[in-house]
Amino acid sequence: EEPTPPVVPVEPSGPPPPKPGSEEWVYVDEPIDSELATILSNYYDSVELNYVDSCKVVFRNIRSERSYIIDHFYQIKTDYTTFLNRPDTKQEYVDIFVKEFNALADDARDDDEFKMELHQRVEDLCDTLHEIALQRKEESEKEREIIMTDGWIQDHLGLLTNHYVTLMQ
């Protein structure tokens, strides 16, 4: 076995060097070639112009997307309202019931069996109207679910996110 050399701590050779930006930092005071300065200035102007133009394009895209989203939500709202206000057959059933009820003889209305028949007809009409309302409710809920799960919002949120990420870069 070979002996391991002893570890000797390193002695500091002086204070740490100054950091850039501190008062002790010494900047290079060399002259810059005018041709190099012109090239760098033109390059900086070109980069700045490119940055400003790309920001303008991104801001325009964000405004366009906002307008598109507002238009889309308005269109969905009007289409869904139209869907909810579509005509149904409830009034037709009520009209038929009223016509049949009014066609009945007045003197027969005092009969108990006849009254039971009329009450049954009213219950049947109520059941029919409830079935129609329930069916319309289910159709409306399905339409709402289709609108909510079509992925349109997620797609456009992704586009907006990409625009903002482009701005941050």
Per-residue model confidence as pLDDT tens digits over 100-125: 888 887 777 778 888 898 899 999 99
Task: Name 18's Cβ contacts closer than 8 Å, sequence gap at least 6.
Answer: 24, 25, 26
Would the pLDDT of 38 be above 90?
yes
pTM value is 0.64
How many other CB atoms sit within 10 Å of the CB of residue 41?
10
The pLDDT of residue 3 is: 73
Would the pLDDT of 66 be above 80?
yes
Which residue is listed with tokens 């400003």?
52
Task: Quote the CA–CA distance of 160 and 62 in Å, as a whole number.
Answer: 7
Q: How many residues does the chain have?
A: 169
Put residue 11 in one of left, alpha, beta given phi > 0 → left and psi -120 to 50 → alpha.
beta
Which residue is listed with tokens 């329930």?
134
- State what percent of residues in the chain have pLDDT above 90: 67
Q: What are phi and psi of 19, to 5 degrees?
A: -90, 150
